[in-house]
Amino acid sequence: MTEAQLAIPNAIVTSNGFMAGYGYDISRRTQFQAVVQYDNLIFNDSQPAIPPPNAVEETLLHGTGTFAFHTSLSRLLSHADSLGISSGYSRQVNGAEQSQTISLHGTWKRPLSVTYVLAAEGGVDLYTTDRLTGVNYAPTGSVAVSRKVRRSGSIAVRLAQTIEVLGATHVSTSINVDGGVKIGKNLTIGATGSFVHNDFPGNPAYNYSPLIVGANLSYKLPANLVVSASYSDWERISGGDSSFLAARSTIYKTVSLSYARTWH
């Protein structure tokens, strides 16, 4: 919810999360993967610096729990084409409201040349929310083209439409650009940019469009150690039809530092 800027800009939010994944090579050409994730958000509503919430924020500023499960099965049919199927389930409890979504997609990946790779997926998401009656659906999917730049760089462009239940159930349409380059043997530098439009079928007043840019770098240390840092800038450039969100145009910046070690 803080990433989507549905919360008050200076709200303090505690986030607890857990994610686990498993992959298995069924054969030399067939792979199976499964991922499970749980996130819990807790708002500190006793902060004196926060102004009184408006109608939109009063609805959204609640403790939120989200559970998600995703599986995929892919098979390499030839030296180039890889086909597969993926499914996902997510459920959110936001105060007294509940929402859930189920997705089923077909996937395809093919190298177009030595430097270009095309990846696509498409299908449908079924979702339910207390703000709408019955089971609703929306077409979802993505198309991505990636290109190798010389020996050490890469760039990718991705168009996507997804259903998200975090914060409040909405249809998210985005264009994303990612790039990176390796300098020497140990240093890698990358940059990202995304333009997103979020459409809330339960209440169009929530609609908004953010612009997100970021940069990251990582450096390999001896003994399989890696240190990395990232920076992101989030800015809402449109509040849609909502005078509530438009009145509080927000800019969100974050810096993070991580440290990791791999072993065999």
Average model confidence (pLDDT) across the chain: 82
Task: Tell me if residue 156 falls in helix, strand or coil.
Answer: strand
Q: pLDDT tier at 55 (50, 70, 90 boundaries)?
A: low
> What's the 3-state SS for 96-152?
CEEEEEEEEEEEEEEECCCCEEEEEEEEEEEEEECCCCCCEEEEEEEEEEEEEECCC
Residue-level pLDDT at 96:
66
Give the sign of the dihedral formed by CA 101, CA 74, CA 194, CA 41.
positive
Q: 64-75: per-residue pLDDT in tens? A: 788 999 999 999
- Dig out the tokens for 94 from the structure: 């936001």
CA distance linking residue 113 with residue 21, whole number of Å: 31
Tokens 């209440």 -> residue? 203
C-alpha Rg value of the chain to the nearest Å: 20
Q: 126-156: per-residue pLDDT in tens? A: 988 877 888 888 899 999 999 988 778 999 9
Structural domains present in the chain: 13-261 (2.40.160.60)
Share of the chain above pLDDT 70, in %: 78
CA distance linking residue 134 with residue 127, whole number of Å: 9
Residue-level pLDDT at 8:
53
Top pLDDT among 214 and 47 is at 214
Residue-level pLDDT at 74:
94
- 255: pLDDT strictly greater than 50: yes
85-to-73, 199, 214 alpha-carbon distances in Å: 5, 26, 31
Beta bridge partners of 89: 69, 102
- Residues 6 or more apart in contact with residue 78 via CB below 8 angstroms: none
CA distance linking residue 164 with residue 125, whole number of Å: 10
Residue-level pLDDT at 240:
55
Top pLDDT among 19 and 53 is at 19
Residue-level pLDDT at 150:
77
